[in-house]
Structure 1
Amino acid sequence: MFLNDQKTNPVSFRIGILKIWDSNLQKYGKYFKPYSLILHLQLQAFNYFSRLFSKNNLYIDYINWLFTNHGLVINIISYNNVSQELISKNILDKKLLSILHYWFHLPVSVFLFNQQVWYNSASLISNYVSKCLVYGFPIKKTLQNTCKILQGEVDTKKLIYSKNGLNVISLDGFKIQFSGCFDSTRTQMAKTIQYSHGSVPLTRAQGYVEYSYQQIFTKYGTCGLKIWIFYKIR
Protein backbone atom coordinates (compact mmCIF):
# COMPACT_ATOMS: atom_id res chain seq x y z
CA MET A 1 0.00 0.00 0.00
CA PHE A 2 1.32 3.42 -0.92
CA LEU A 3 1.59 5.89 1.95
CA ASN A 4 1.79 9.58 1.12
CA ASP A 5 4.00 11.37 3.62
CA GLN A 6 1.99 14.56 3.16
CA LYS A 7 -1.27 12.87 4.21
CA THR A 8 -0.12 10.32 6.79
CA ASN A 9 1.02 11.05 10.32
CA PRO A 10 4.43 9.31 10.51
CA VAL A 11 3.90 8.52 14.19
CA SER A 12 0.55 6.73 13.87
CA PHE A 13 1.71 3.55 12.14
CA ARG A 14 4.67 3.22 14.54
CA ILE A 15 2.39 2.89 17.57
CA GLY A 16 2.64 -0.69 18.77
CA ILE A 17 5.81 -1.36 16.74
CA LEU A 18 8.29 1.11 18.22
CA LYS A 19 6.33 3.79 20.02
CA ILE A 20 4.02 3.46 23.00
CA TRP A 21 0.86 5.37 23.81
CA ASP A 22 1.21 8.50 25.93
CA SER A 23 -1.94 7.54 27.89
CA ASN A 24 -2.80 4.38 29.81
CA LEU A 25 -6.55 4.17 30.44
CA GLN A 26 -8.54 1.53 32.25
CA LYS A 27 -12.19 0.56 31.96
CA TYR A 28 -12.68 -1.09 35.32
CA GLY A 29 -12.37 -0.27 39.01
CA LYS A 30 -14.03 2.30 41.23
CA TYR A 31 -12.58 5.21 39.22
CA PHE A 32 -14.10 4.00 35.95
CA LYS A 33 -15.32 6.68 33.54
CA PRO A 34 -16.36 6.52 29.87
CA TYR A 35 -13.46 7.00 27.47
CA SER A 36 -15.09 10.04 25.88
CA LEU A 37 -15.25 11.82 29.24
CA ILE A 38 -11.65 10.88 30.11
CA LEU A 39 -10.35 12.18 26.78
CA HIS A 40 -12.31 15.42 27.20
CA LEU A 41 -10.88 15.97 30.69
CA GLN A 42 -7.41 15.07 29.46
CA LEU A 43 -7.61 17.68 26.69
CA GLN A 44 -8.91 20.24 29.17
CA ALA A 45 -6.02 19.54 31.55
CA PHE A 46 -3.48 19.63 28.70
CA ASN A 47 -4.66 23.08 27.61
CA TYR A 48 -4.46 24.25 31.22
CA PHE A 49 -0.89 22.93 31.55
CA SER A 50 0.09 24.61 28.27
CA ARG A 51 -1.16 28.03 29.39
CA LEU A 52 0.33 27.63 32.86
CA PHE A 53 3.78 26.62 31.60
CA SER A 54 3.79 29.29 28.88
CA LYS A 55 2.98 31.94 31.49
CA ASN A 56 6.08 30.88 33.45
CA ASN A 57 8.31 30.72 30.31
CA LEU A 58 8.45 26.92 30.36
CA TYR A 59 8.07 24.60 27.38
CA ILE A 60 6.31 21.24 27.52
CA ASP A 61 7.95 18.39 25.65
CA TYR A 62 5.85 15.38 26.62
CA ILE A 63 3.03 14.48 29.02
CA ASN A 64 2.31 10.91 30.11
CA TRP A 65 -1.08 10.06 31.65
CA LEU A 66 -1.40 6.93 33.77
CA PHE A 67 -4.83 6.00 35.13
CA THR A 68 -4.59 3.32 37.83
CA ASN A 69 -6.79 1.83 40.53
CA HIS A 70 -5.26 4.30 42.98
CA GLY A 71 -5.81 7.47 40.95
CA LEU A 72 -4.14 9.48 38.19
CA VAL A 73 -0.39 9.93 37.71
CA ILE A 74 0.79 12.71 35.36
CA ASN A 75 4.44 12.84 34.27
CA ILE A 76 5.47 16.10 32.58
CA ILE A 77 8.77 16.53 30.73
CA SER A 78 9.64 20.17 30.09
CA TYR A 79 12.57 22.43 29.22
CA ASN A 80 13.53 25.36 31.43
CA ASN A 81 16.48 27.42 32.61
CA VAL A 82 15.48 27.76 36.25
CA SER A 83 15.93 25.50 39.24
CA GLN A 84 13.66 22.54 39.87
CA GLU A 85 12.74 23.84 43.33
CA LEU A 86 11.50 27.15 41.89
CA ILE A 87 9.37 25.34 39.31
CA SER A 88 7.80 23.09 41.91
CA LYS A 89 7.04 26.11 44.08
CA ASN A 90 5.40 28.15 41.30
CA ILE A 91 3.57 25.38 39.42
CA LEU A 92 3.17 22.19 41.45
CA ASP A 93 1.24 23.83 44.27
CA LYS A 94 -1.89 22.82 46.16
CA LYS A 95 -4.08 24.94 43.89
CA LEU A 96 -3.08 22.94 40.81
CA LEU A 97 -3.69 19.60 42.52
CA SER A 98 -7.07 20.76 43.82
CA ILE A 99 -8.15 21.83 40.32
CA LEU A 100 -7.13 18.47 38.83
CA HIS A 101 -8.86 16.62 41.65
CA TYR A 102 -12.04 18.64 41.02
CA TRP A 103 -11.97 17.80 37.30
CA PHE A 104 -11.13 14.09 37.48
CA HIS A 105 -12.73 13.29 40.88
CA LEU A 106 -9.85 11.03 41.87
CA PRO A 107 -6.45 11.37 43.60
CA VAL A 108 -3.92 13.08 41.31
CA SER A 109 -0.11 13.03 41.48
CA VAL A 110 2.00 15.27 39.22
CA PHE A 111 5.72 14.70 38.62
CA LEU A 112 7.86 17.21 36.73
CA PHE A 113 11.05 16.19 34.88
CA ASN A 114 13.56 18.61 33.38
CA GLN A 115 14.79 18.28 29.78
CA GLN A 116 18.43 19.37 29.48
CA VAL A 117 18.36 20.62 25.86
CA TRP A 118 15.62 21.80 23.51
CA TYR A 119 17.01 20.81 20.09
CA ASN A 120 16.46 17.03 20.41
CA SER A 121 12.66 17.22 20.56
CA ALA A 122 10.27 18.17 17.76
CA SER A 123 7.75 19.78 20.11
CA LEU A 124 10.42 21.88 21.86
CA ILE A 125 11.82 23.03 18.51
CA SER A 126 8.35 24.15 17.39
CA ASN A 127 7.93 26.04 20.67
CA TYR A 128 11.31 27.69 20.13
CA VAL A 129 10.39 28.84 16.61
CA SER A 130 7.00 30.09 17.80
CA LYS A 131 8.62 32.07 20.62
CA CYS A 132 11.12 33.67 18.22
CA LEU A 133 8.27 34.84 15.98
CA VAL A 134 6.45 36.31 18.98
CA TYR A 135 9.58 38.35 19.74
CA GLY A 136 9.61 39.65 16.15
CA PHE A 137 12.49 37.68 14.61
CA PRO A 138 12.26 37.07 10.81
CA ILE A 139 10.86 33.64 9.98
CA LYS A 140 13.49 32.75 7.37
CA LYS A 141 16.37 33.72 9.65
CA THR A 142 14.83 31.79 12.54
CA LEU A 143 14.40 28.62 10.47
CA GLN A 144 17.92 28.89 9.04
CA ASN A 145 19.45 29.23 12.50
CA THR A 146 17.38 26.28 13.74
CA CYS A 147 18.60 24.14 10.84
CA LYS A 148 22.23 25.06 11.55
CA ILE A 149 21.82 23.98 15.17
CA LEU A 150 20.23 20.66 14.15
CA GLN A 151 22.90 19.99 11.52
CA GLY A 152 25.54 20.31 14.22
CA GLU A 153 23.71 17.72 16.33
CA VAL A 154 23.60 14.96 13.69
CA ASP A 155 24.61 11.56 15.15
CA THR A 156 23.84 12.83 18.66
CA LYS A 157 22.54 9.96 20.80
CA LYS A 158 19.32 9.94 22.75
CA LEU A 159 17.68 7.44 25.12
CA ILE A 160 14.01 6.56 24.57
CA TYR A 161 11.51 4.13 26.03
CA SER A 162 9.86 2.00 23.36
CA LYS A 163 7.70 -1.13 23.25
CA ASN A 164 10.83 -3.28 23.57
CA GLY A 165 12.23 -1.31 26.50
CA LEU A 166 15.02 1.25 26.52
CA ASN A 167 16.72 1.99 23.20
CA VAL A 168 19.59 4.22 22.14
CA ILE A 169 18.85 6.27 19.02
CA SER A 170 20.90 8.81 17.08
CA LEU A 171 19.78 11.79 15.01
CA ASP A 172 19.94 10.97 11.29
CA GLY A 173 17.93 13.72 9.60
CA PHE A 174 15.19 16.30 9.90
CA LYS A 175 12.65 18.21 7.86
CA ILE A 176 11.07 21.58 8.68
CA GLN A 177 8.13 23.03 6.76
CA PHE A 178 6.50 26.42 7.32
CA SER A 179 3.38 27.35 5.33
CA GLY A 180 1.07 30.34 5.30
CA CYS A 181 0.97 34.10 4.71
CA PHE A 182 4.00 35.57 6.45
CA ASP A 183 5.18 38.29 4.04
CA SER A 184 3.70 41.68 3.23
CA THR A 185 3.45 41.05 -0.52
CA ARG A 186 0.89 42.42 -2.94
CA THR A 187 -0.49 39.03 -3.90
CA GLN A 188 -1.16 37.96 -0.28
CA MET A 189 -0.71 34.35 -1.37
CA ALA A 190 0.32 31.56 0.97
CA LYS A 191 3.90 30.36 0.67
CA THR A 192 5.82 27.32 1.84
CA ILE A 193 9.38 27.28 3.16
CA GLN A 194 11.02 23.90 3.58
CA TYR A 195 14.40 22.84 4.92
CA SER A 196 15.69 19.29 5.18
CA HIS A 197 18.92 17.52 5.99
CA GLY A 198 19.98 13.90 6.03
CA SER A 199 17.62 10.95 5.76
CA VAL A 200 13.92 11.36 6.57
CA PRO A 201 12.12 8.14 5.48
CA LEU A 202 8.60 8.92 6.67
CA THR A 203 6.94 5.87 5.09
CA ARG A 204 9.10 3.21 6.78
CA ALA A 205 8.01 1.90 10.16
CA GLN A 206 11.51 0.79 11.23
CA GLY A 207 12.88 4.21 12.12
CA TYR A 208 11.96 6.38 15.07
CA VAL A 209 10.30 9.64 14.01
CA GLU A 210 9.25 12.58 16.14
CA TYR A 211 6.60 14.77 14.56
CA SER A 212 5.20 18.11 15.67
CA TYR A 213 2.58 20.41 14.19
CA GLN A 214 1.79 23.84 15.56
CA GLN A 215 -0.37 26.73 14.41
CA ILE A 216 1.32 30.12 14.58
CA PHE A 217 -0.70 33.33 14.35
CA THR A 218 0.95 36.31 12.67
CA LYS A 219 -0.34 39.73 11.66
CA TYR A 220 -0.70 38.44 8.09
CA GLY A 221 -2.70 35.32 8.95
CA THR A 222 -2.46 31.79 10.34
CA CYS A 223 0.62 29.72 9.53
CA GLY A 224 1.43 26.06 10.07
CA LEU A 225 4.77 24.71 11.30
CA LYS A 226 5.59 21.03 10.73
CA ILE A 227 8.73 19.36 12.04
CA TRP A 228 9.93 15.81 11.39
CA ILE A 229 13.00 14.44 13.19
CA PHE A 230 14.27 11.00 12.17
CA TYR A 231 16.42 8.83 14.44
CA LYS A 232 18.31 5.62 13.74
CA ILE A 233 17.94 2.85 16.30
CA ARG A 234 21.29 1.58 17.52
Structure 2
Amino acid sequence: MGQKTNPIGNRLGIIRGWDSNWYGGNDYGDKLAEDAKIRKYIHARLAKASVSKIIIERTLKLVTVTITTARPGIIIGKGGQEVDKLKEELKKITNKEVQINIFEIKRPELDAYLAATSIARQIESRISYRRAIKMAIAAAMRMNAEGMKVQISGRLNGAEMARSENFKDGRIPLSTFRADIDYALAEAHTTYGRMGIKVWIMKGEVYGKRDLSPLAGMDKQQKSSKPSGSGKPNGRPNQQRNNKRK
Protein backbone atom coordinates (compact mmCIF):
# COMPACT_ATOMS: atom_id res chain seq x y z
CA MET A 1 0.00 0.00 0.00
CA GLY A 2 2.89 2.34 0.68
CA GLN A 3 3.82 2.19 -3.00
CA LYS A 4 0.44 3.63 -4.06
CA THR A 5 -0.15 6.46 -1.59
CA ASN A 6 1.38 9.89 -1.16
CA PRO A 7 4.29 9.40 1.30
CA ILE A 8 3.53 12.70 3.03
CA GLY A 9 -0.19 12.09 3.52
CA ASN A 10 0.53 8.53 4.61
CA ARG A 11 2.66 9.83 7.51
CA LEU A 12 0.44 12.68 8.72
CA GLY A 13 -0.08 12.43 12.45
CA ILE A 14 2.77 9.93 12.80
CA ILE A 15 6.01 11.76 11.97
CA ARG A 16 4.64 14.55 9.78
CA GLY A 17 2.51 17.59 10.67
CA TRP A 18 -0.02 19.52 8.60
CA ASP A 19 0.75 22.50 6.36
CA SER A 20 -2.57 24.22 7.18
CA ASN A 21 -3.41 24.69 10.85
CA TRP A 22 -6.78 26.22 11.71
CA TYR A 23 -10.30 25.33 12.80
CA GLY A 24 -12.82 25.09 9.96
CA GLY A 25 -16.51 25.57 10.60
CA ASN A 26 -19.10 26.35 7.95
CA ASP A 27 -16.51 28.38 6.02
CA TYR A 28 -14.11 25.43 5.75
CA GLY A 29 -14.29 25.42 1.94
CA ASP A 30 -13.59 29.15 1.68
CA LYS A 31 -10.54 28.87 3.94
CA LEU A 32 -9.21 25.88 2.01
CA ALA A 33 -9.59 27.71 -1.31
CA GLU A 34 -7.93 30.79 0.17
CA ASP A 35 -4.97 28.70 1.37
CA ALA A 36 -4.53 27.31 -2.14
CA LYS A 37 -4.71 30.83 -3.56
CA ILE A 38 -2.07 32.09 -1.10
CA ARG A 39 0.33 29.24 -1.93
CA LYS A 40 -0.15 29.68 -5.68
CA TYR A 41 0.43 33.43 -5.42
CA ILE A 42 3.60 33.08 -3.31
CA HIS A 43 5.11 30.41 -5.58
CA ALA A 44 4.41 32.56 -8.65
CA ARG A 45 5.64 35.84 -7.13
CA LEU A 46 8.75 34.31 -5.54
CA ALA A 47 9.64 31.92 -8.35
CA LYS A 48 13.34 32.84 -8.11
CA ALA A 49 13.54 32.52 -4.33
CA SER A 50 13.50 28.67 -4.22
CA VAL A 51 10.40 28.53 -2.00
CA SER A 52 9.53 25.04 -0.75
CA LYS A 53 6.98 24.58 2.03
CA ILE A 54 4.36 27.21 2.93
CA ILE A 55 2.63 26.71 6.29
CA ILE A 56 -0.54 28.69 7.04
CA GLU A 57 -1.99 29.22 10.51
CA ARG A 58 -5.17 31.14 11.25
CA THR A 59 -6.72 32.83 14.25
CA LEU A 60 -9.81 35.02 14.34
CA LYS A 61 -8.04 38.16 13.12
CA LEU A 62 -4.58 37.01 12.05
CA VAL A 63 -3.14 34.84 9.29
CA THR A 64 0.42 33.62 9.88
CA VAL A 65 2.30 32.50 6.77
CA THR A 66 5.57 30.63 7.29
CA ILE A 67 7.77 30.36 4.19
CA THR A 68 10.70 27.95 3.92
CA THR A 69 13.21 28.98 1.29
CA ALA A 70 16.77 28.35 0.20
CA ARG A 71 17.26 32.06 -0.62
CA PRO A 72 15.72 34.17 2.16
CA GLY A 73 17.51 37.34 1.08
CA ILE A 74 15.37 37.60 -2.06
CA ILE A 75 12.16 37.46 -0.03
CA ILE A 76 13.33 39.89 2.67
CA GLY A 77 14.84 42.46 0.33
CA LYS A 78 16.90 45.48 1.31
CA GLY A 79 15.89 46.57 4.79
CA GLY A 80 12.88 44.24 4.71
CA GLN A 81 11.14 46.17 1.92
CA GLU A 82 10.19 43.14 -0.16
CA VAL A 83 8.66 41.20 2.72
CA ASP A 84 6.62 44.27 3.69
CA LYS A 85 5.27 44.47 0.13
CA LEU A 86 4.38 40.79 0.22
CA LYS A 87 2.54 41.25 3.50
CA GLU A 88 0.41 44.04 2.04
CA GLU A 89 -0.38 41.95 -1.04
CA LEU A 90 -1.48 38.99 1.10
CA LYS A 91 -3.67 41.32 3.17
CA LYS A 92 -5.70 42.04 0.03
CA ILE A 93 -6.23 38.31 -0.52
CA THR A 94 -7.21 37.45 3.06
CA ASN A 95 -8.76 40.75 4.23
CA LYS A 96 -7.00 40.13 7.56
CA GLU A 97 -3.77 41.05 9.28
CA VAL A 98 -0.89 38.95 7.97
CA GLN A 99 2.31 37.90 9.72
CA ILE A 100 5.15 36.41 7.68
CA ASN A 101 7.91 34.18 9.07
CA ILE A 102 10.85 33.17 6.91
CA PHE A 103 13.02 30.10 7.47
CA GLU A 104 16.15 29.23 5.57
CA ILE A 105 16.61 25.71 4.19
CA LYS A 106 20.17 24.82 5.13
CA ARG A 107 20.44 21.82 2.81
CA PRO A 108 18.27 22.41 -0.29
CA GLU A 109 19.66 19.24 -1.90
CA LEU A 110 17.55 17.23 0.58
CA ASP A 111 14.31 19.07 -0.19
CA ALA A 112 12.18 17.05 -2.62
CA TYR A 113 10.25 20.05 -3.97
CA LEU A 114 13.39 22.07 -4.72
CA ALA A 115 15.03 19.03 -6.33
CA ALA A 116 11.98 18.35 -8.52
CA THR A 117 11.62 21.97 -9.65
CA SER A 118 15.36 22.19 -10.35
CA ILE A 119 15.18 19.13 -12.61
CA ALA A 120 12.10 20.55 -14.36
CA ARG A 121 13.77 23.92 -15.03
CA GLN A 122 16.87 22.21 -16.44
CA ILE A 123 14.75 20.10 -18.78
CA GLU A 124 12.98 23.25 -19.97
CA SER A 125 16.45 24.69 -20.68
CA ARG A 126 17.09 21.71 -23.02
CA ILE A 127 19.49 19.94 -20.68
CA SER A 128 19.37 16.14 -20.92
CA TYR A 129 16.90 14.75 -18.39
CA ARG A 130 19.26 11.90 -17.53
CA ARG A 131 22.06 14.32 -16.72
CA ALA A 132 19.81 16.58 -14.63
CA ILE A 133 18.40 13.66 -12.63
CA LYS A 134 21.76 11.98 -12.02
CA MET A 135 23.25 15.29 -10.82
CA ALA A 136 20.33 15.81 -8.41
CA ILE A 137 20.68 12.28 -7.00
CA ALA A 138 24.45 12.64 -6.61
CA ALA A 139 24.00 15.98 -4.79
CA ALA A 140 21.46 14.48 -2.37
CA MET A 141 23.63 11.45 -1.61
CA ARG A 142 26.60 13.76 -0.92
CA MET A 143 24.46 15.47 1.72
CA ASN A 144 24.01 12.14 3.53
CA ALA A 145 20.59 11.19 2.18
CA GLU A 146 19.90 7.49 2.72
CA GLY A 147 18.23 7.19 -0.66
CA MET A 148 16.62 9.08 -3.54
CA LYS A 149 14.28 8.04 -6.31
CA VAL A 150 13.18 10.06 -9.35
CA GLN A 151 10.46 9.10 -11.81
CA ILE A 152 10.01 11.08 -15.02
CA SER A 153 7.06 10.59 -17.37
CA GLY A 154 6.22 12.06 -20.76
CA ARG A 155 7.56 12.21 -24.29
CA LEU A 156 11.17 11.71 -23.30
CA ASN A 157 13.63 13.06 -25.90
CA GLY A 158 10.64 13.89 -28.11
CA ALA A 159 9.57 10.25 -28.58
CA GLU A 160 6.22 9.64 -30.27
CA MET A 161 4.95 7.51 -27.38
CA ALA A 162 5.07 8.71 -23.79
CA ARG A 163 6.82 6.50 -21.26
CA SER A 164 8.23 6.56 -17.75
CA GLU A 165 11.78 6.08 -16.48
CA ASN A 166 12.94 5.53 -12.92
CA PHE A 167 16.29 6.48 -11.37
CA LYS A 168 17.20 5.34 -7.87
CA ASP A 169 20.13 5.31 -5.47
CA GLY A 170 20.02 4.00 -1.90
CA ARG A 171 16.82 2.84 -0.22
CA ILE A 172 13.26 4.23 -0.16
CA PRO A 173 11.21 2.15 2.35
CA LEU A 174 7.74 3.53 1.53
CA SER A 175 5.93 1.01 3.76
CA THR A 176 7.95 1.97 6.87
CA PHE A 177 6.00 4.72 8.62
CA ARG A 178 8.94 5.83 10.77
CA ALA A 179 10.96 6.49 7.59
CA ASP A 180 11.31 10.25 7.05
CA ILE A 181 10.59 10.45 3.31
CA ASP A 182 10.09 13.76 1.53
CA TYR A 183 8.04 13.70 -1.69
CA ALA A 184 7.21 16.23 -4.39
CA LEU A 185 5.85 16.50 -7.92
CA ALA A 186 6.88 19.08 -10.51
CA GLU A 187 6.12 19.63 -14.20
CA ALA A 188 8.38 20.62 -17.06
CA HIS A 189 6.72 22.36 -20.02
CA THR A 190 8.65 21.54 -23.20
CA THR A 191 8.03 21.87 -26.94
CA TYR A 192 7.03 18.18 -26.95
CA GLY A 193 4.47 18.59 -24.19
CA ARG A 194 4.36 18.32 -20.44
CA MET A 195 6.66 16.07 -18.41
CA GLY A 196 6.00 15.00 -14.84
CA ILE A 197 8.85 14.63 -12.35
CA LYS A 198 8.28 12.81 -9.04
CA VAL A 199 10.98 12.85 -6.36
CA TRP A 200 11.32 10.76 -3.18
CA ILE A 201 14.14 11.50 -0.71
CA MET A 202 14.83 9.26 2.29
CA LYS A 203 16.38 11.31 5.11
CA GLY A 204 16.48 8.71 7.86
CA GLU A 205 14.24 7.02 10.43
CA VAL A 206 12.45 8.66 13.34
CA TYR A 207 12.37 6.78 16.66
CA GLY A 208 10.18 7.76 19.57
CA LYS A 209 7.67 10.61 19.55
CA ARG A 210 8.09 13.62 17.28
CA ASP A 211 6.65 17.09 17.83
CA LEU A 212 4.12 17.61 15.01
CA SER A 213 3.57 21.34 15.61
CA PRO A 214 4.05 23.47 12.46
CA LEU A 215 7.38 25.01 13.44
CA ALA A 216 8.85 22.05 15.31
CA GLY A 217 11.23 20.96 12.59
CA MET A 218 12.21 24.51 11.76
CA ASP A 219 13.41 25.46 15.23
CA LYS A 220 16.62 23.65 14.31
CA GLN A 221 17.18 25.94 11.33
CA GLN A 222 16.19 29.56 11.68
CA LYS A 223 13.25 31.04 13.55
CA SER A 224 11.98 34.62 13.46
CA SER A 225 10.10 35.70 16.58
CA LYS A 226 9.57 39.27 15.39
CA PRO A 227 6.44 40.45 13.55
CA SER A 228 6.25 40.26 9.79
CA GLY A 229 8.51 42.56 7.88
CA SER A 230 11.48 42.08 10.18
CA GLY A 231 12.98 39.14 8.32
CA LYS A 232 15.68 38.80 11.00
CA PRO A 233 16.36 35.46 12.68
CA ASN A 234 16.46 35.17 16.44
CA GLY A 235 18.53 32.58 18.24
CA ARG A 236 21.20 30.10 17.26
CA PRO A 237 20.51 27.05 15.11
CA ASN A 238 20.49 23.86 17.14
CA GLN A 239 22.04 20.62 16.05
CA GLN A 240 19.62 17.94 14.92
CA ARG A 241 19.27 15.09 17.38
CA ASN A 242 17.85 11.67 16.65
CA ASN A 243 16.59 9.59 19.57
CA LYS A 244 17.75 6.09 18.74
CA ARG A 245 16.22 3.03 20.28
CA LYS A 246 18.53 1.30 22.71
TM-score per shorter chain, which class? 0.7 to 0.9
Change (3 A) 1:211 1:99: same
SS at match of 1:128: helix
Match of 1:13 among 10, 15, 24: 10
Question: In the aligned structure 1, how far is the partner of 2:155 from the partner of 2:161?
Answer: 6
Aligned pair 1:74/2:48, yes or no? no
Aligned pair 1:175/2:149, yes or no? yes
Say if 2:155 and 2:163, in contact at 8 Å, map to a contact too.
yes
Q: Which runs of 5+ in 2 are unaligned?
A: 207-241
Q: Scaled by the length of structure 2, what TM-score is found?
A: 0.76
Tell me the residue number matched to 2:222. Answer: none
Question: In the aligned structure 1, how far is the partner of 2:126 from the partner of 2:58?
Answer: 41
Question: In the aligned structure 2, how far is the partner of 1:85 from the partner of 1:41?
Answer: 23
Tell me the residue number matched to 2:196. Answer: 224
How many residues align? The count is 206
Higher strand share: 1
Change (3 A) 1:117 1:18: closer
SS at match of 2:202: strand
Q: Structure 1, residues 171-191: CA drift from partner, whole Å, max 9, x if none?
A: 321111111102134xx0112
Question: In the aligned structure 2, how far is the partner of 1:133 from the partner of 1:65?
Answer: 31
Tell me the residue number matched to 1:133. Answer: 123
Aligned pair 1:60/2:59, yes or no? no
Aligned pair 1:198/2:191, yes or no? no
Question: In the aligned structure 2, how far is the partner of 1:80 from the partner of 1:102?
Answer: 25
Q: Structure 1, residues 79-127: CA drift from partner, whole Å, max 9, x if none?
A: 1285675277463133x33332222222111122222332010011112
Question: In the aligned structure 1, how far is the partner of 2:74 from the partner of 2:186?
Answer: 28
Cα-Cα RMSD: 2.1
Say if 2:150 and 2:198, in contact at 8 Å, map to a contact too.
yes
Identity score, percent: 21
SS at match of 2:172: coil
Change (3 A) 1:81 1:45: closer
Say if 1:182 and 1:221, in contact at 8 Å, map to a contact too.
no
Q: How does 1:182-193 map to 2 (within 5 A)?
A: 182-185=156-159, 188-193=160-165
1:47 positional shift? 0.9
Q: Scaled by the length of structure 1, what TM-score is found?
A: 0.80
